[in-house]
């Protein structure tokens, strides 16, 4: 009988598939590690402050129910912006004070509506230990004047003009997934470390708003 040579059995595609998937997962893992490594300096600028964040979260009810206790280690000491005279300053210039940092723009209707309540809170609580710090984000060379005109028109007594007409400060908030729109408010400790975030406007000049501010001051 003449023997016929049978074709060699085809190798299973399963090992190749497993190897391909493994390499893909490894590549994704490396990419995520690189991304987190690049983000790590800002993310770890401050210690995690879960207890302080929880206290603010518990105080945030009613009109301030949208406020989120964070305390995840983000810090803003290096965030720069300008004074009314155009000279540079930063969050670090306010070391020693707990801050309510409100980002606003003259074209933002909810921002404009929020300003009287923020002025009232500033009038009541601004001290050596606490400050309402508004940062205007009108862009371009005319941004500073637009902000000046708006504050002058409102005759706000305790909302000084600080501004970032480059929008860099807000871009940082977007990059770190802290905010996507205006207004947004950060509650910071005396070292410029984030303890809570409020996306959107709130009626601060209420018992609910006062409770949050008093919780921040008492930490």
171-184 tens-digit pLDDT? 999 998 899 999 99
Report if residue 198 sits inside a domain: yes
Query: pLDDT band for position 5 (50/70/90)?
Result: low
CATH number at residue 51: 3.40.30.10
**SS3 letters for 42-89?**
HHCCCCCCHHHHHHHHHHCCHHHCCCEECCCCCECCCCEEEECCCCEE
19-40 tens-digit pLDDT? 444 444 444 333 333 333 343 4
Considering its fold, how many domains does the chain have in total?
2
120-160 tens-digit pLDDT? 999 999 999 999 999 999 998 889 899 999 999 999 999 99
pTM flag (> 0.75): yes
Report if residue 144 sits inside a domain: yes
Residue recorded with tokens 């209420």: 206
- Whether residue 207 is found in the same domain as residue 106: yes
- Whether residue 37 is found in the same domain as residue 53: no
Report if residue 3 sits inside a domain: no
């Amino acid at each position: 009988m003449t023997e016929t040579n049978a074709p060699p059995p085809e190798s299973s595609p399963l090992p190749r598939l497993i190897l391909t998937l493994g390499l893909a997962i490894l590549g994704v893992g490396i990419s995520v590690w690189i991304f987190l490594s690049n983000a790590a300096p800002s993310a770890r600028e401050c210690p995690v402050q879960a207890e302080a964040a929880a206290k603010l979260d518990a105080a945030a009810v009613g009109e301030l129910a949208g406020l989120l206790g964070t305390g995840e280690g983000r810090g803003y000491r290096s965030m720069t912006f300008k004074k009314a005279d155009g000279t540079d300053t930063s969050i670090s210039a306010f070391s020693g004070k707990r801050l309510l940092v409100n980002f606003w723009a003259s074209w933002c209707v909810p921002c404009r509506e929020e300003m009287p309540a923020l002025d009232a809170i500033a009038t009541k609580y601004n001290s050596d230990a606490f400050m309402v710090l508004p940062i205007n984000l009108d862009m371009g060379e005319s941004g500073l004047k637009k902000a000046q005109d708006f504050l002058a028109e409102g005759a706000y007594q305790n909302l000084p003009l600080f501004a970032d007409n480059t929008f860099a400060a807000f871009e940082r908030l977007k990059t770190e997934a802290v905010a996507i729109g205006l207004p947004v408010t950060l509650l910071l400790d005396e070292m410029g470390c984030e303890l809570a975030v409020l996306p959107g406007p709130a009626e601060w000049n209420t018992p609910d708003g006062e409770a949050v501010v008093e919780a921040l001051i008492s930490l």
